[in-house]
Amino acid sequence: MKKEKLIEKLNEFENGFERDPEVIELVYKIKEKFDSHFNKTFSSKEIESDEFDEMSEEYYYALKENDPDDASIFQVMWFENWLK
């Protein structure tokens, strides 16, 4: 099978997965749960502090050294939120 065809199939798979209503619902639930735990853990004052930014940056660089295959859904959600 040609590489171009495999790339096309990968793109179709990615698009189908990301548009799947069940996947969208599950991701939404995970985001809600993450946000709920985040808001219970950190105050708005803490989130707005330089120390929080420093801590997040240190966490990022510490995890950057890890194998990407070892990334957890928590880490993905953390950085998706922190990098906004």
Q: Which of 12-16, 36-40, 77-81 has the lowest mean pLDDT?
A: 77-81
DSSP string for residues in 10-63: HHHHHHHHHH-HHHHHHHHHHHHHHHHHHHHHS-HHHHTSHHHHHHHHHHHHHH
Which pLDDT belongs to residue 84? 63
Residues 2 and 37 in one domain: yes
Greatest Cα-to-Cα distance within the chain, rounded to the nearest angstrom: 55
Q: How many domains does the chain have?
A: 2
Residues 48 and 72 in one domain: yes
The span from the CA of 50 to the CA of 26, in Å, is 33
State mean pLDDT over 22-43.
96
Residues 48 and 32 in one domain: no
Q: What percent of the chain has pLDDT over 90?
A: 74
Residues 1 and 37 in one domain: yes
Residues 52 and 66 in one domain: yes
**Of the candidates 33, 44, 24, 45, the residue with the CA atom closest to the CA atom of residue 74:** 33
Residues 55 and 84 in one domain: yes
Q: What is the pTM for the complete model shown?
A: 0.78
- Domain residue limits at 14: 1-41
Residues 47 and 78 in one domain: yes
